[in-house]
Amino acid sequence: MIKMSLGEKVKGFLFNPTDTFNAVKAENLGEAFKYFLILLLIFSILFSLIIGIIGTTMIFFQTTMLFPPPAMMGGGLLAVSFFISSFVGGLIAVIIGSLWLHIWVYLVGGRKGLTQTMKAVMYSCTPTFIVGWIPFINIIAMIWAIIVEIIGIRQLHEISTGRAILAWLISILIPGIVLGLLAYYAWYAGFQATPFPKPS
């Protein structure tokens, strides 16, 4: 197996995910996790900088022009909090997301193990980590990341595209339905508790 550099992987998962997933099929999880951590760190820094700049600008214009230091401090704290939340949140999300997705991958016929599912999820984050911190472009990055993840499931588990799509859809639909029901219940409970004026 020829070991790919970080740059080669980034380029491959962005523009030729099928062949790139084939190339990393025999790779251990440690390599994928190292790749994921590096890109997550870069993304978290860039994302927090964008948030910090936006936050500083908003706070600056909402406060008096005579006191710019508090505005700068507020934007800085906002950037730090977003950096921590995006980095830690990314680590938690990739682990929980991989475990949840693997249940459905296994049920549709994927038998190559949890490691391959985790690799598919980690590598599929490439588009989001590379350009997902840019406003508006991040929408395209998220869509491409979904496609890359489905391709990864297909290639690494050696199942059909249809089965890979089915596994991904189920993993998204079930939490979506549950959250929708909870939101409806919360709305309905609030609606029932709202007092209405009695007719005179």
What digits encode the pLDDT tens for the residues 131-173?
A: 998 888 999 999 999 999 999 999 999 999 999 999 999 999 9
In a domain, 197, yes or no: no
Name the domain count of the chain: 1
Q: Scanning the structure block, which residue is given the tokens 């790749």? A: 35
In a domain, 200, yes or no: no
The 10s digit of each residue's pLDDT in 165-185 is: 999 999 999 999 999 999 999
In a domain, 135, yes or no: yes
In a domain, 171, yes or no: yes
Note down the domain range covering 115. Answer: 6-192
CA gap 6, 126 in Å, rounded: 11
Give the per-residue pLDDT at 196.
60
CA gap 62, 160 in Å, rounded: 54
Give the per-residue pLDDT at 51.
80
CA gap 36, 26 in Å, rounded: 17
Mean local confidence (pLDDT), 72-84: 74
